Amino acid sequence: MGVLTPVCKAYGSEASYDSIVLAIQCYGGYGFSEEFPLAQMLRDCKVFPIYEGTNGIQAMDLLGRKVVMKNGAAFRAVLDEISRTVEEASHVEALKDMAGKLAAALAEVGETTAQLAGIAMGGDIECYMSCATAYLRMFSRLVVSWLFVWQSTVAQKAIAAGGGEQSFYKGKLATAQFYLNNELPYLHATAQILKSGERTALDFNEEWF
């Protein structure tokens, strides 16, 4: 739970804000007017990334404390849970594609985390911690994808068993497929940035402003 707390707070609050921004775009200019509730929702939602530990603090908590907590045992426990879901989903024919994508994301996060750990062990803590926000977003997409594949396993079994609520379960599968096809790929792009050693902001000279 400690490892997942920054994901729930930070990623959840950012995703909720982004969804309302998109809703306003759907309304067009009308979405900005006070006769619709979206303007109020946007203002109310904006504070979520700020209080109860700003999302930057949540990111530093994840990478600086939770990932290394108990010599990494808590972090590995989450990865093991994800791996078990991959294993279960891979035995369901309809879910093999999603299981493969989740497995690739899991391996990517593991490799990226190990490389960042090497930076920290080498003593460059400032560089290590500068990766926190990007790392949180990468790891969050892994966690959300995991939950979608887990839900899909349950949904697929329910569809195969027949009975009512077929549309509900098919909706779950479609939502999961959309997320893994459209959001999960950003995980790999972020991982490449984190592994590239990019440190322009850290090396920026004050006089250059």
Q: What are phi and psi of 34, to 5 degrees?
A: -75, -10
Q: Which of 91, 101, 109 is nearest to 177 (CA)?
A: 101
Q: Which of 144, 62, 65, 67 is nearest to 101 (CA)?
A: 144
- In the chain, which residue ranges form alpha helices assigned H by DSSP? 5-6, 12-27, 38-46, 55-61, 73-90, 96-121, 125-130, 132-161, 166-182, 185-195, 200-203
Q: What is the pLDDT of residue 27?
A: 84
Whether 142 has a pLDDT exceeding 80, the answer reads yes
The answer to whether position 136 is within a domain reads: yes
Q: What is the pLDDT of residue 97?
A: 97
Whether 104 has a pLDDT exceeding 80, the answer reads yes
The answer to whether position 40 is within a domain reads: no
SS3 of residue 178 by DSSP: helix
Q: What average pLDDT does this structure show over 120-137?
A: 95
The pLDDT tens digits of the residues spanning 149-182 come to 999 999 999 999 998 899 999 999 999 999 999 9
* Alpha-carbon distances of 88 from 23, 93, 150, 152, 180, rounded to whole Å: 36, 11, 9, 11, 17
Task: List CB contacts of 196: < 8 A, sequence separation 6 or more.
Answer: none
Greatest CA separation for the chain: 69
Q: What average pLDDT does this structure show over 122-131?
A: 95
Task: Tell me which residue range forms the domain holding 131.
Answer: 55-201
The answer to whether position 90 is within a domain reads: yes
Whether 110 has a pLDDT exceeding 80, the answer reads yes
52: alpha, beta or left? (left if phi > 0; alpha if psi -120 to 50): left
Report how many domains make up the chain: 1
The answer to whether position 7 is within a domain reads: no
Q: What is the pLDDT of residue 51?
A: 87
At 88, list the tokens. Answer: 């279960």
* Alpha-carbon distances of 132 from 23, 81, 127, rounded to whole Å: 29, 23, 9
Whether 72 has a pLDDT exceeding 80, the answer reads yes
At 194, list the tokens. Answer: 């984190």
The pLDDT tens digits of the residues spanning 3-60 come to 999 999 999 999 999 999 998 898 887 777 777 788 888 889 999 999 888 999 999 9
The answer to whether position 83 is within a domain reads: yes
The answer to whether position 34 is within a domain reads: no
Percent of the chain exceeding pLDDT 70 equals: 100
The answer to whether position 44 is within a domain reads: no
